[in-house]
Structure 1
Amino acid sequence: MTAERDPIDRLTCVIPAGGVGSRLWPLSRAKAPKFLLDLTGSGSSLLSSTWQRLEPLVDPERIMVVTGQAHAPLVRAQLPDLPEHNLITEPSPKDSSAAIGLAAALLEIRDPDAIIASFAADHVIRGSVLFERAVRTAVAAADEGSIVTIGIHPTFPSTGFGYIKGGGARTDLAPFDVYDVDEFVEKPDQETAERYIAEGGYLWNAGMFIARATVLLEAMAKSEPQLVADLREIAASWNSSDGAQKREELWPHLKKVAIDYTVAEPEAAAGNMVCVSAHFDWDDVGDFASVAKLLTRGRQSDLAVLGDSAQVLSHKSSGIVVSESDRLVALVGVDDIVVVDTSDVLLVTTKQHAQDVKQLVDRMKLSGGGHLL
């Protein structure tokens, strides 16, 4: 009799590497998006760090990256151990349902029993042992047919993240840390976020999803049957002579929608989602305020510098300076400032308004400044 495969041996990790990261403009741009940049001063890009985090769990044959065609060469350069057939290129960005759904459809063909786990390319995680423990717990729950997400214990009342409202403990799936998901909550206002923290029972939604590939696709098909049908058709012809033609025919018409809306929210409402309560440190590098927080963590400094610190002169100032030019950046008596100095753009704002950088990018798209994006 053949021994049953351990669930972790059927795990494939998928890294969706898309999005420009417009709140990090002008550092992050269309040709060099944030996941390809070193934003922590570690010497590794966010994408490379994600790869390194997954290596102890699975071998390279079971790590896939989904990215845009324009970024494929740089992804290959940064991840030399990524198998060629595991680099999945999208003809155009169609959001996370299409990206993760395509990976699931390809995996479903390769291994009908495959378990898929999706981890964004632009997150920073500390605590590798705790990360691996959370993933293994999630994989065990997914093997039982559940759709699983990994939630992060909030450290402050953030209005920039979505939240997961936890329900009853699922000791039938794991002895601890696994709970029903009662609801996914959109990014709240400050008062609501403070209430969530005070009440307890809420976790940050980090966008990590783990499930059997077929289970994930069938859940997505409940709300978007045409999307899943097209993804499966694209996957079926992926390596065939007419694969490129099939992608050209179907991809432009795929619905652009996040997996939160096609899977997470409806499945939570139906009582079909569970959550692993994780204990590792997690950051979503979404704007320059979050970059500053990462760079000054554990340091006796109020000013974060990314780039050549010799090009920054500061007196009684705090915030973050990103230096990519040969100019000297001098600060005197300014608090929580954000200065990003590149060869062709100088951005000055404050940490309080770091999220608003996206508004500038949106205006530039309409005003003919696209060459700077």
Structure 2
Amino acid sequence: MQPYIVILAGGLGAKLWPESRHSKPKQFLDLLGTGRTLLQMTYDRFLPKFSKDRFLVITTKKYLNLVKEQLPELDEQQILLEPIRRNTAASLGLVAYLIRKLDPDAEVIVSPSDQVVFNETAFFGVLDVALQASRIGHRLVTVGIQPHSPETGYGYIQYLEGTTDPVKKVKTFTEKPDLALAQTFLESGDFLWNSGIFIWKNESFIRAIELHMPEMAEVFEEGDPYFEGPEEAAFLRKAYSLIKNISVNAGILVKSDDVYVVTGNFGWSDLGTWRTLFEFKNKNHGSNVAEGHALLFDAENCFVKAGPNRLVVVQGLKDYLVADSENVVLICKIEEENRFREFLNGAKDKGAEFI
């Protein structure tokens, strides 16, 4: 049987605010102007290789209608709804216990819903290597991206050196380092960006949950009679009140001795910030990106995105983002992505309609 393709689609995309909103975060937006949203592009990427019935999308109940609207090909049973956001350990734990009920021998490929891949042939070559590796023992395999700059918005994976095997044992995980540490990682040569793409036998991941998050295993074990039934939603509301809000990296992978990484080099980005989105856009002679009704004068290295009903005129700016979206206009240094939580908290104080 083919692996299950699990697409994580519950994130908020905070660093692409105000374009990405709580009501419609970035995975549901067409950020590249292709006519397809990031969620749809993720589905499109896997569909030629895997049967439609092997897809599962996990999100929160708030986004059910968006998923149904954008992926009408899926049955509603293929959309798993978390009652509240509890981070990726809970999301993948729920998926694992549900899949165990459907197919005890299943293999799983986990993909975020908000990434782009430009070399799909190389991408699936890496997945083939990772699938083969995941069949050995209880390995949990992740895909690491060969870094080309000291990015502070990505997590990093350090692997053990001394082998030419493309599948390497993971030594450490580091979440979003500061610039100096990211530069050190880049220069060391044994660190990769953490893509958040995972490959494993479902039973291997459940074993890891039982070992490293036994309290979560106990909660989901009790759900077996309710999964796929009329009482599932009520059970999940209770279960999620008991589960930790923690990432799969922090809750399981950093504690496990069975984690391996395969290096990927297939034109990857998670489009997590305005700066990374800016890198993918075609630029004019001043290295600017102007979208919508935008006029730039004496500007350099700026990203100006105007809304459909407003003319935005910018003069004399360098290295700035100007984003006009619905009822918010954001003007900030394009490199100041680490301040977006501060911006959002200020916007929230002004009213929920601004976030």
Q: CA deviation at 1:96?
A: 0.5
Residue from 344, 347, 352 that aligns with 2:330: 347
Alignment correspondent of 1:125: 117
Determine helix, strand or coil for the equivalent of 1:253.
coil
Unaligned 5+ runs, structure 1? 1-8
Query: Within 2, Cα distance between the matches of 1:235 and 1:347?
Result: 47
Q: Which shifted more, 238-247 or 335-344?
A: 238-247
Aligned partner of 2:319 in structure 1 is: 336
- Within the alignment, does 1:63 sit opposite 2:55 as a pair? yes
Number of equivalences = 353
Query: Percent of aligned pairs with the same residue?
Result: 28
- Specify whether residues 300 and 18 from structure 1 end up closer, same or farther in structure 2 by C-alpha distance, changes over 3 A only: farther
| Post-superposition offset of 1:316 | 2.9
Q: Match for residue 323 of structure 1?
A: 306
**Offset, 1:304:** 1.8
For residues 265-320 of structure 1, the C-alpha deviation after alignment (integer angstroms, 9 at most, x for no partner) is: 111xx3x11111112111121221111112138x76612234x2xx1111232321
Q: 1:301 to 1:106 in 2, by over 3 A?
A: farther
1:181 aligns with 2:193: no
Q: Could you tell me which of 279, 285, 288 is aligned with 1:293?
A: 279
Cα distance between partner residues in 2 of 1:332 and 1:360: 23
In 2, the alpha carbon distance for the partners of 1:43 and 1:291 equals 16
> Equivalents in 1 of 2:214, 2:350: separation in Å?
38
Residue 77 of structure 1, CA deviation: 1.0
| Among 108, 111, 120, the residue aligned to 2:103 | 111
Q: Which residue among 7, 11, 16 is the counterpart of 1:24?
A: 16
Judge conservation of contact 2:2–2:50 (CA < 8 Å) in 1.
no
How high is the TM-score relative to the length of structure 2? 0.94
Q: Which moved more, 1:218-227 or 1:66-75?
A: 218-227
Q: Which residue number corresponds to residue 152 of structure 1?
A: 145
1:200 and 1:240, CA in 2 relative to 1: closer, same or farther beyond 3 A?
Answer: same
Distance in 1, Cα, partners of 2:43 & 2:237:
30
Deviation string 1:106-128 (CA, Å, 9 cap, x unpaired) is 11111111011111111121100
User: What is the match of residue 5 of structure 1?
Assistant: none
1:312 aligns with: 294
How many Å separate the matches in 1 of 2:139 and 2:212? 18
1:202 deviation in Å?
Answer: 1.0
| Separation of aligned partners in 2, 1:119 and 1:64 | 10
- Calculate the TM-score normalised by the size of structure 1: 0.90
Name the counterpart of 1:166: 159
Q: Please report the RMSD computed on the Cα atoms of aligned residues, expressed in angstroms.
A: 1.8
Cα displacement (A) at 1:215: 0.9
The answer to whether the Cα contact below 8 Å between 1:295 and 1:305 also exists between their aligned partners in 2 is no
Following TM superposition, by how much is the alpha carbon of 1:159 offset from its aligned partner in structure 2, in angstroms? 1.6
Q: Tell me the SS of whatever aligns to 1:349.
A: strand
2:213–2:252 Cα contact (<8 Å) kept: no
Deviation at 1:170, TM superposition (A): 6.8
| Alpha-carbon separation, structure 1, partners of 2:199 and 2:337 | 32
Per-residue CA deviations over 1:4-62 (Å, capped at 9, x if unaligned) read: xxxxx341110110121122111111111111011112221110111111113311111
Amino acid at match of 2:334: K
Which residue is equivalent to 1:370?
352
Task: After superposition, give the CA deviation of every residue in 1:202-254 in whole Å (9 maximum; x if it has no partner).
Answer: 11011111111121121122221111221233354122343233223222222
Give the corresponding residue for 1:249: 238
Give, as a single letter, the amino acid of the residue that structure 2 aligns with 1:296: N
Deviation at 1:168, TM superposition (A): 4.4
Partner of 2:260: 274
The correspondence for 1:359, drawn from 317, 342, 347, is: 342
Supply the distance in 2 between the matched residues of 1:76 and 1:113 (Cα, whole angstroms).
28
Pair 1:240-2:237 in alignment: no
**Shift, 1:83, TM fit:** 2.5
Aligned pairs for 1:196-235 within 5 A: 196-235=185-224
Secondary structure of the residue that 2:241 maps to in structure 1? helix
Structure richer in helix, relative to its length: 1
SS of the aligned residue for 1:296 comes to: coil
